[in-house]
Amino acid sequence: MLEAADGRLAARLPEGVLRPVQERYLDEPRGRYHGQAGLVAAPRSVEEVAAVVRACAEARVGIVPRGGGTGLVGGQVMETGPAPLVLSLERMVAVRALWPEENVLIAEAGVTLAGVRQAAEGVGRVFPLSLASQGTAAIGGACRPMRVE
């Protein structure tokens, strides 16, 4: 349970990652689900995400990932059970690389769909996914790497 471990867990997290627990991290857009959180972490890099996940695993604290918060199925909130750590990807917003000749774009999980679309258009390419929430929906929630075998 996070309440008992939050002081110890917070001390193990990278400096500057913790955020105050605010309503925006606990609600889904329609207000149908209201979650809970003991801590909110907003890492700046993959290395910080790994440190947060490692610390939570060692402390046996659940993690609820949060991108743009636009999902309508309640997956970005945890209503019951032990209070989790909300892992917000709001600070991971870089488009890391573009290879237009290969039609490859590498983006961090918090980049909005609109940001990915702009980056693609900037090199003469099209990112075809279009949603009404593209200005707030994060690529990490809307798309995920897929493995085809």
The tokens for 115 are: 């940001």
pLDDT at position 149? 41
What stretches in the chain show pLDDT beneath 50? 1, 4, 146-149
pLDDT at position 58? 87
Helices (H), the chain: 2-12, 46-59, 113-122, 139-142
Task: List, for residues 111-129, the tens digit of each pLDDT value.
Answer: 999 999 999 999 999 998 8
CATH topology of domain 2-88: 3.30.43
Please give the model's pTM, rounded to 2 decimal places: 0.78
Tell me the domain boundaries of the chain.
Answer: 2-88, 95-142
pLDDT at position 94? 94
